Structure 1
Amino acid sequence: MIALSPGLVQGCFELLAITIRQQLTFREIKNSFAYLGSLPTPKVVETAQALNWLRVSEQGYAQHTPRGTRLFAASGYEAQLRQALLDYIDIEYPSWVQNASFGRSRVLSFAGSQIAQIFVEAGLADGSGETVVAFWDALAARARGQRDDRLTQIGRLGERLTIDYEEQRTGRRPTWIAIDNNADGYDVLSVVGREDTTQLTIEVKASTQGYAGFAMLTRNEWEMAMESECHAFHFWNLRKPSTPELAVVSSETVLEHMPQDQGMGQWDCTRIPFSVFKELFNCPSKP
């Protein structure tokens, strides 16, 4: 397993730049440069080859692989670091990747200080910009063995819409909880209103199937709804993306459609049709 670090990644970037400027064999590189970045050149060369960024050409020179070409062409240092992380994960698949399914904070806690520092320098340790969210969704998809997770994309769109809606409704920017830890049982932390700053937890569900869609509600999400002093469900109908419809539903209303444990059996996940809340949907241009 490669012990990736910021210094090692920077050394690899420097090596990729050298091999663009000059035709050199790996032996010549090792003889000409004692260090790349802050690390011994042999270690950097070994890493670049192991991560499939460099290979030996037919003429015997160090040559970029397609993966290395993509990495070198990334626009800016942060973008290069993000691509380097994904390449490292795809090849090494470190055990901490499994934590990506539970959110960003779990990854940063278990990845180790060196890897965590790469996330920091790549601008991924905080924030909720589109490129940051896209990276974490890509990482979560890898944790599930999936490269394209359309359901996650739909869910993220619903969460963004809720954040914008809540900011307009309360005058305060809510906290996007699900980005850092989706094991908390809710997605967004807002407040009750402009004059009431009591915390409001919100679980967001979104579907592109209109009223024919449904929401999957886990036991953890429902238990949070029951435990929270103030909780709401946001159901987003995204059948027409240009005019999304929102139903704000209370826990008491959702309770009418929830299963119950019986005997030794306990429910774990349930499916609730959007159609049961049809009368509550409207286009929230003005909260």
Structure 2
Amino acid sequence: MAITTRQQLSFTEIKSSFAYLGSLLSQDVVDTAQSLNWLHAGEQGHAELTLRGERLLSTAGYEAQLRQALLDYIDIEHPSWVQNATFGRSRVISFAGTQIAQVFVEAGLADGTDDAVVAFWDALAARARGQRDDKLTQIGRIGERLTIKFETQRTGRLPTWIAIDNNADGYDVLSVVDASDFKRLTIEVKTSTQGASGFAMLTRNEWDMAMESDAHVFHLWSLRDQSKPQLAVVGNESMLAHMPVDQGRGVWDCTKIPFSSFIDAFGPPKNQPPGS
């Protein structure tokens, strides 16, 4: 697209004058730039950057440009595979096809959990849900990051952030029991900015996972004051007292548990044992 800022050429002239743009056929590049609304024909018939194209061209860094290009492609083309974003990035990359999957790799999105990478996948998941901004997801990510930090300090080992790759597993973070016991500890994270007035929405899948795991805890993060987060580490036995049961033909699917149920367990994060 940078060629349009240096020369006044029509789309036909670009295609006839340049067989390739980089390693790509110029016709494919021009057609894609038009379909994604990066270029349009100006009053004189010359190829000109649109506002979307100017934004893409002004984005600093190759990876950042690729990420913006992916979002533009998704917003315009609405590919069916984007619906998998609600299940995590591994599902998206598996269904997106080889070429698109390679773009995810080159954009630095296939792994890693830095802020920009997480923000991209959350933006993609929001689009899959038909939303541009998902405040609850953002709050949930804060709690998950706090759990990653807490578990690293508690065990001396960096846990695995499961939810960023696949949120269908029924838990968010995979850690270990403690610094001397490397048995798997699965952790479901629930976060609220409402303090004791907040609640945890727990799905049947999450509870089933908790019961199947040899070692499982719930991290409840109260972010009423985000500068002083409060944590309650709740074990399965304590959570069980507040869980619904199936009766007759009725089968529960999701339940809402008040944070106030565990009010005495909340406090500043400290190296407390699992399920204390």
> What is the match of residue 57 of structure 1?
42
**Corresponding position: 1:162 with 2:135:** no
Runs of 4+ aligned structure 1 residues displaced above 6 Å come to: none
How many residue pairs were aligned?
272
1:8 counterpart residue number: none
- Matched to 2:135, the amino acid is R
For structure 1, list consecutive stretches of 5 or more residues without a partner in the other structure: 1-15
Cα distance in 1 for partners of 2:214, 2:28 equals: 55
Distance 2:214 2:241 in 1: 19
Cα offset, 1:284, TM superposition: 1.1
Match of 1:40 among 16, 21, 25: 25
Q: Does 1:115 align with 2:100?
A: yes
Match of 1:172 in 2: 157
Deviation of the 1:245 alpha carbon: 0.1
Q: What secondary structure sits across from 2:186 in the alignment?
A: strand
AA aligned to 1:148 is: D
Aligned to 2:116: 131
- Does residue 147 (structure 1) correspond to residue 147 (structure 2)? The answer is no
Identify the match of residue 60 of structure 2 among 54, 75, 92. Answer: 75
Matched, 1:250 2:232: no
Distance 1:244 1:285 in 2: 11
Q: Shift of residue 42 of structure 1? A: 1.6
Task: Report the CA distance between 1:37 and its aligned residue.
Answer: 2.4
Aligned-partner SS, 1:190: strand
Report the more deviating stretch, 149-158 or 34-43.
34-43
When normalised by structure 2's length, the TM-score is 0.97
Q: Does 1:90 align with 2:75?
A: yes
* Alignment partner of 1:211 is 2:196: yes
Q: Which of 237, 241, 244 is the equivalent residue of 1:259?
A: 244
Q: Write the mapping of 1:231-246 to structure 2, written as runs, cut at 5 A.
A: 231-246=216-231
Query: In structure 2, what is the equivalent of residue 22 of structure 1?
Result: 7
Deviation, 1:40, is 2.1
User: Residue in 2 aligned with 1:271?
Assistant: 256
What residue in structure 2 maps to residue 5 of structure 1?
none
When structure 1 is superposed on structure 2, of 41-50 and 179-188 the one drifting more is 41-50
SS in 2 for 1:234: strand
Distance 1:278 1:129 in 2: 32
Q: 1:39 Cα deviation (Å)? A: 2.6
Name the SS of the counterpart of 1:266 in structure 2.
Answer: coil
**Alignment root-mean-square deviation, CA:** 0.8
Please report the TM-score for the alignment, with normalisation by the length of structure 1: 0.93
Residue 105 of structure 1 aligns with an amino acid whose one-letter code is: S
Deviations along 1:13-56, whole A, 9 cap, x unmatched?
xxx11111111111211121011122321221111100000001
Deviation at 1:94, TM superposition (A): 0.6
Q: What is the distance in 2 between the residues matched to 1:252 and 1:121? A: 45
Cα deviations by residue, 1:90-130 (Å, 9 ceiling, x for unpaired): 01011100000000100011101110000000000000000
Percent identity at matched positions? 72
The AA in structure 2 aligned to 1:52 is N
**Aligned equivalent of 1:283, options 265, 268, 273:** 268
Measured in 2, the distance between the counterparts of 1:46 and 1:285 equals 57
3-state SS, counterpart of residue 206 of structure 1: strand
